[in-house]
Structure 1
Amino acid sequence: MFARLGAVVVHNPWKVIGLWVLLAIAVVATAPELKSTTDQSAFLPSHYESIQALQLQQEAFPESSAPAAIIVFARKDSAALTDADTASIVSVADELRGAQIDDVTAVQPTPPSQNRLIQIIAVQMTKVTNPNDTSQGDAVKALRAELKQRIADTELKAGITGQAAQVLDQLESGEKGMAIIGVATIVLILVLLLVIFRSPVIAVLPVVVIGAISSMVGGLIAVVAKAFDLQIDASINAILVVVLFGVGTDYILFLMFRYRERLRAGEDSKTAMVNAVSRVGEAITSAAGAVIIAFLALVLSTLGMFRALGPALAIAVAVALVAGLTLVPAVVSLIGTKVFWPSTAWRTEPKGARFTAVGNALGRRPGAFAVVSGGVLVVFGVFALGFHPTFDLSSGSTSEASESVVYSKELVKGMPAGTTQPSDVLLRSEAGELTVDQLTAYRGALAAVPGVGQVAEPKLSADRTIADFTVTLTDIPESDAALDTVQGPLREVAHAAAPAGATAAVGGLTSIFVDFQDAMARDYSIVFPVAALLIMIVLGLLLRSLVAPWYLMASVFLGFAATLGAAVLVFQHFRGEPGLIFTLPVIMYLFVVALGTDYNILMVARLREEAREGNEPKQAAALALRHTGPTIAAAGVILAGTFASMMLAGNNVLAQMGFAISAGIAIAAFVMAMFFTPALTAIVGHTAWWPGHGDRKTDDSGPDEQRRGTETIPPTTGEAQTAVAER
């Protein structure tokens, strides 16, 4: 099949390129706008308490909401506010109200805090229903400009925090981070490919091809998101960039290594490309299939953000694979050997012994290699037991110097930390109107809960059957302490203290994160096992074996644990952070499990190829490492490097993601696939291929197969690379 595909593409390059252009234009022209959201409630199903509370609030109080922004005032000298200061603040509120800023619906000053260190103005804004609506962000910008002028000649300092300001600062930080990630990714790919191939043409090739198809990928994701009503998280763009360029470059890399090998065997450029597609096609298609299956398993997630993320990344990988097997061969067939210009090293097989020596050592002592490499995975994996999730994304996803973060810290000097995102307790009576005594007693019960700072007078619906109590927590809404308060005593008291015939539901951002924890625990118990089972089926079909898939998945599991442990060690132990972002295990699953399997497939495919040539298990392992080690090393460096670029984005969320994914890929490539997997296969021996006997010697070996036994291995990944996968 892949031989026919290669022949069609190579002999009809202009038609293939033209078809890609037409498809890209059609998708981009007809695809809807790709919408994303930062509203965490959009990702939870309706049976969770936080969502039920939100729906009840919207039903009974459609015009009621927490302040979109909070203007925090304090004295420049950090002293207590004077009566003149408070009068100035009230005057500023009047002036801001009179400025009639678009989408600002109310400006309400409050009394100073009890210690008089701060005073706030609560700002209501037009509700946002479209995730791409920038009206609240524009209003915050206008308020900041007006505020700066109003306090210029006073002893006061002021800044804006609250949800609208935090979202604005996160978006601006995210845009800067995206620019940094994009530039760093492209520069890294260019530099590494220049080092490996010493050709600017081949270095630019992935950047041009993948850049050309990126708009098409975005269009396809938008089509799928609209068709299946998927909620796309705002952070997906950063991940998509590195997935497209990282994975896409890897697939192009595998193809070009094999193409160069066929040229060195004496074939003309077109024949060499046909054979390259034929020989590399099955392996990278199987590897991509495993990655796509792992991504698609996320459709079983309870959380909408992951149900959307899985298909989106699966689309990106699928398009990158098809482009690698069709568009790239078509382009290269037109360029021919000039793709390696100005280097002439592609003409000759270089001499070297580094991977040969390592391969021979592994073949002689596979047990030692298995123990050492497995030991490394276990040691790092132990630290994974200390993983602690955190939901504090507001400070982690933007700079510490941003105004919303600075004045959020200023706010807690005089008011409860939960002021920026108060919780809501919705009380609904099925037995008639709620009485004053019932409301007073219920409010008192809520106020007595440990961790609750204050409870406002309830808002009542028109028929007095629904009451909304605004509850301000003493801790930051995203903090562990706040989550513990809501999950434990607040919900318990809210339910137990409800009057006879009434029910209660606790809502708000903190309650949403509490339900996130429950949903993610459920997802871990379902998504991960299903994905592992599906990947094992792919491995079993590819290898015609019931044995190898088990220890391959075991190695991938160890790689996952080691990666999580490394992240815990760096961020929680060395940097002293309270925890890692709560989505990190799922993000790691997407890349470490999927791409770890990817590299395992490439190595095991070569192991089987060497075994089929009549080599015994230990010798087959030595030859597989000798031939495929340089390719996996080069691919691992490029892919790990592209994800590591996320650490340059300037915020902690992307830094944790970038470190964990790049470390996971490095572990998968340089520990798991390069040493642990071939060592285990050598130890298991012929049993690894039972019952299919995939290692049985074939009788159709030709000159190419005979030549493999004598070819030499380059000393570094920057020199010549040999075959990457079985035909």
Structure 2
Amino acid sequence: MFERLGRFVVRRAWWVIVGWLVAAAAIIGTTPSLSDITSADQGSFLPHSYEAVQAAELAKKVFPQQVAATAAIVVKRADGKPLTPADEAKVGEVAQTLKAKNIPSTSGYLTGPQAVAPDKSVQVVNVGLDAKTPDDPALLQAVRDLRADLGPALAGSGLTAGVAGDVASFVDNEDTFNQAFAVVGVATIVLIIGLILIIFRSPIAALLPVVVVGLVLMVTTGLVAAAGKVFDLNVSQDLQTILLIVLFGIGTDYILFLLFRYRERLRAGDDKRTAMVVSVQRVGEVITSAAGAVIVAFLVLLLASLGFFGSLGPALAIAVGVMLVTSLTLVPALVSLLGRYVFWPSKAWQRTPEANLSRRLGKAIGRRPALVAAASGALLVALAAGSLAYQADYDFSSGFPQDTESAKAATDLQRGFAAGALAPTEVYLRTDNGAPLTDQQLNEFAAAAAKAPGVGQAQPPERSNDPSVARVNLLLNENPVSNEAITLVRDSLRADLHEAAPPGTKALVGGTTSIFADINSANNRDLSVILPVAAALIALILALLLRSLVAPIYLVIAVLLNFAATLGATVYLFQGLQGKPGITFQLPIILYLFVVAIGTDYNILMIARLREEAREGNEPHEAAAIGVEHAGPTVAAAGLILAGTFAVLMLAPISFLQQMGFAVAIGIVLSAFVMSMFLVPSLTALIGHKAWWPGHGDERPGGKPQTPPEPASMANV
């Protein structure tokens, strides 16, 4: 099949290139923009069955005037002394002055005696921010305008103030985010060009992945947007960045797979067309299997209960599918036309390096596979042990620079009030039969809620436009996005508040802490479903590729062990050495995307080469040695490029970007240089012929050696 495909592509190279460009132009020109299906609505993350979602939906109905977000103006004396009655009066005047400015997208400006801290250290002015979506640029501009008008309003009063809240934090860190992702994009291209220049010493080979993947990215975004319109899917704002990294990661991998094999066939004496036909024949099945495993891994995300992952899976699967087609058609067509000029001006491709590193490693693995398997396996197990101490961290604000206005204002606010002042836990009390809530029911519940363990303060109850529903905001003693607060809400506070509801009423617990408590439960559930299902499906693909039941078992175990080792290494660094309270809660899924899914590529490339060498008549130890010698450089180059791209994120002054950068980089390094280079070849050598049971994957078909077509066979194609 792949030989026929290779012959067609080489024979009709110009047709393939023109056809691909026409199709790409049609897709790019006729499909909608990705921004048309992009949403920042966090409510879609959780299904309706979760209590936080039910509370949010109830709030929309009975508190329609509720704004999408708030900003807290935190006012204090410049000399640090307690606020005086005159100061409090001045804060009230400032609130009215700002309100009179009619700053777009703002409303409310609420303050008063209840907004003064018990120790008189600060007074708060709560400002409503009105917008249809949390990412509305109008919100960011509103905070900027608010800050610009705040200074003159306080001039000469002896008071100072800062604006805190999620939107203010985003404004303060917007440049940091933009710079971080710009650096990632530039670093990706520089690393790809730089490393391929080192490997092939050719600017053409170095630019090939950048140009091809750049075109594929434009086609993919169009197809994803079209699919989103057809199936009514929304995607996260992060998708564009994730698509960029995934496509450059797997795209460079697949192109390198072809270029390394193409160079090998040219060295063996094949003409440029025959070399490409044989390359597609030998590597096409590997690329297809690798892409199939990644596509399956991404589609398994459809099983996730979190909406973000459910929409992410199909989008990434489309991207990998497009890259697969491109790798087996456009890339071979381009390279077959360029021939040896793809490696110009270097002539190093003409000679096989003597005593290179991969050859020495291969021989070492072939001689002592048991020692290599024990050492590499022990390293992964030791790192994996750290994953047992993993704690999820939901506090994004603590990971941002702490010298910004929003961070300083938040610190002042939490010193004066309960820790949960910036994100109250919203408790909605409603009657079972729709009858109006009585004052007695509401007051009894508010008093009980205020005394619940973990609650620092209860704000006065608020009645809604529906007489059967009211709200009580609770300020927790703990940071509302800390593990302690999330565990409190999930494990005890909800149950306490449900029990405190008077007869004939029901309590629903919402707010930021409640949302994260449900996300925590959903995340744990998703990982417990996604990882086993993905492992089973990847094992099935490997079984079909290798015609074996034994090899897929230890290959999948190696992948899962590598996942645990990556998480453990991250825990050792950030929770252990740096003393962080936890690791960002999104990290396990991120590792699934980039370490389990994409890291499987390296396993497939290596095991396919081991099988190929066994079919050439080499005994298991020798097959392992030769397989590492020839596949090792490809795995190393691909792994270095992808790992280097993520490692750049560690330069960002944002904690969760640092964690993501380190975790994915170390995960790819472990995948390429420990699992695929050492563990898999050594295990395959130790198991020997039984690795291919019950098939005969290591036997020569028909009892004859596998030989490539004669160089002359394509001379006149």
Which band: TM-score by shorter chain? over 0.9
* Partner of residue 515, structure 2: 512
Distance 1:7 1:612 in 2: 23
Which of 494, 498, 502 is 1:499 aligned to? Answer: 502
| SS in structure 2 of the partner of residue 328 of structure 1 | helix
* Partner of residue 722, structure 1: none
Map residues 489-638 of structure 1 onto 2, 5 A cutoff: 489-638=492-641
Corresponding letter in the other structure for 1:50 = A
Displaced runs of 4+ in structure 1, greater than 6 A? none
Q: Please say if 1:31 is aligned against 2:71.
A: no
Distance 1:400 1:20 in 2: 50
Structure 2, unpaired ranges of 5+: 712-717
Q: Contact 1:230–1:307 (CA<8 Å) still a contact in 2?
A: no
Which of 102, 105, 121 is 2:104 aligned to? Answer: 102
Distance 1:603 1:491 in 2: 51
Which of 291, 295, 298 is 2:294 aligned to? Answer: 291
Identity level (%)? 50
* Partner of residue 126, structure 1: 130
Q: Contact 2:70–2:128 (CA<8 Å) still a contact in 1?
A: yes
Distance 2:156 2:177 in 1: 33
Q: CA deviation at 1:15?
A: 3.3
Sort the Cα spacing of 1:505 and 1:105 in 2 relative to 1 into closer, same or farther, 3 A.
Answer: same
Q: CA deviation at 1:115?
A: 1.3
Q: Please say if 1:322 is aligned against 2:330.
A: no
Corresponding letter in the other structure for 2:16 = V
Cα displacement string for residues 314-361 of structure 1 (whole angstroms, at most 9, x for unaligned residues): 222222222222222233334332222221111222222432232222
Distance 1:401 1:28 in 2: 43
Sort the Cα spacing of 1:703 and 1:318 in 2 relative to 1 into closer, same or farther, 3 A.
Answer: closer
Q: CA deviation at 1:437?
A: 1.3
Map residues 370-519 of structure 1 onto 2, 5 A cutoff: 370-396=373-399, 398-431=400-433, 432-519=435-522
| SS in structure 1 of the partner of residue 598 of structure 2 | helix
403-412 vs 150-159, which moves further: 150-159
Which of 196, 213, 218 is 2:199 aligned to? Answer: 196
Q: Please say if 1:243 is aligned against 2:246.
A: yes
Cα displacement string for residues 2-37 of structure 1 (whole angstroms, at most 9, x for unaligned residues): 223233333434433333333333333322443444
Structure 1, unpaired ranges of 5+: 708-727
Q: Please say if 1:176 is aligned against 2:198.
A: no
Sort the Cα spacing of 1:401 and 1:2 in 2 relative to 1 into closer, same or farther, 3 A.
Answer: farther
Q: CA deviation at 1:309?
A: 1.9
Distance 1:240 1:191 in 2: 22
Q: CA deviation at 1:655?
A: 1.4
* Partner of residue 719, structure 1: none
* Partner of residue 724, structure 1: none
Cα displacement string for residues 208-239 of structure 1 (whole angstroms, at most 9, x for unaligned residues): 22122222222222233343444423333332
* Partner of residue 711, structure 1: none
Q: Contact 1:426–1:469 (CA<8 Å) still a contact in 2?
A: yes
Distance 1:323 1:58 in 2: 47
640-649 vs 375-384, which moves further: 640-649
Q: Contact 2:68–2:130 (CA<8 Å) still a contact in 1?
A: no
| SS in structure 2 of the partner of residue 408 of structure 1 | helix
Q: Please say if 1:258 is aligned against 2:261.
A: yes
For the aligned residue pairs, the C-alpha RMSD in angstroms reads: 2.2
Q: CA deviation at 1:585?
A: 1.3
Sort the Cα spacing of 1:17 and 1:150 in 2 relative to 1 into closer, same or farther, 3 A.
Answer: farther
| SS in structure 2 of the partner of residue 71 of structure 1 | strand
| Equivalent residues, number | 705
Corresponding letter in the other structure for 1:12 = R
* Partner of residue 715, structure 2: none
Q: CA deviation at 1:263?
A: 1.8
Which of 340, 343, 365 is 2:343 aligned to? Answer: 340
Q: Please say if 1:116 is aligned against 2:117.
A: no
Q: CA deviation at 1:65?
A: 4.3
Sort the Cα spacing of 1:378 and 1:5 in 2 relative to 1 into closer, same or farther, 3 A.
Answer: same
* Partner of residue 81, structure 2: 79
| SS in structure 2 of the partner of residue 695 of structure 1 | coil
Cα displacement string for residues 411-444 of structure 1 (whole angstroms, at most 9, x for unaligned residues): 1121222222212111110242211111111000
Q: Contact 1:173–1:399 (CA<8 Å) still a contact in 2?
A: no
Distance 1:462 1:268 in 2: 80
Q: Contact 1:180–1:648 (CA<8 Å) still a contact in 2?
A: no
Distance 1:583 1:384 in 2: 15
Q: CA deviation at 1:632?
A: 1.2
Q: CA deviation at 1:576?
A: 0.8
| SS in structure 1 of the partner of residue 89 of structure 2 | helix
| SS in structure 2 of the partner of residue 233 of structure 1 | coil
Corresponding letter in the other structure for 2:256 = L
Distance 1:485 1:113 in 2: 25
Distance 2:149 2:180 in 1: 28
Q: Please say if 1:16 is aligned against 2:16.
A: yes
Q: CA deviation at 1:393?
A: 2.1
Q: Contact 1:380–1:562 (CA<8 Å) still a contact in 2?
A: yes
Cα displacement string for residues 375-405 of structure 1 (whole angstroms, at most 9, x for unaligned residues): 1011111111111111112333x43333322
Q: CA deviation at 1:551?
A: 1.0
| SS in structure 2 of the partner of residue 413 of structure 1 | helix
Sort the Cα spacing of 1:463 and 1:99 in 2 relative to 1 into closer, same or farther, 3 A.
Answer: closer
TM-score, structure 1 normalization: 0.93
Corresponding letter in the other structure for 1:70 = A
Which of 53, 56, 81 is 2:58 aligned to? Answer: 56
Distance 2:352 2:684 in 1: 29
TM-score, structure 2 normalization: 0.94
Sort the Cα spacing of 1:26 and 1:647 in 2 relative to 1 into closer, same or farther, 3 A.
Answer: farther
Distance 2:709 2:633 in 1: 19
Q: Contact 1:49–1:515 (CA<8 Å) still a contact in 2?
A: yes
Corresponding letter in the other structure for 2:479 = I
Q: Contact 1:449–1:489 (CA<8 Å) still a contact in 2?
A: no
* Partner of residue 92, structure 1: 94
Q: Contact 2:34–2:224 (CA<8 Å) still a contact in 1?
A: no
305-314 vs 575-584, which moves further: 305-314
Corresponding letter in the other structure for 1:413 = R
Distance 2:231 2:405 in 1: 38
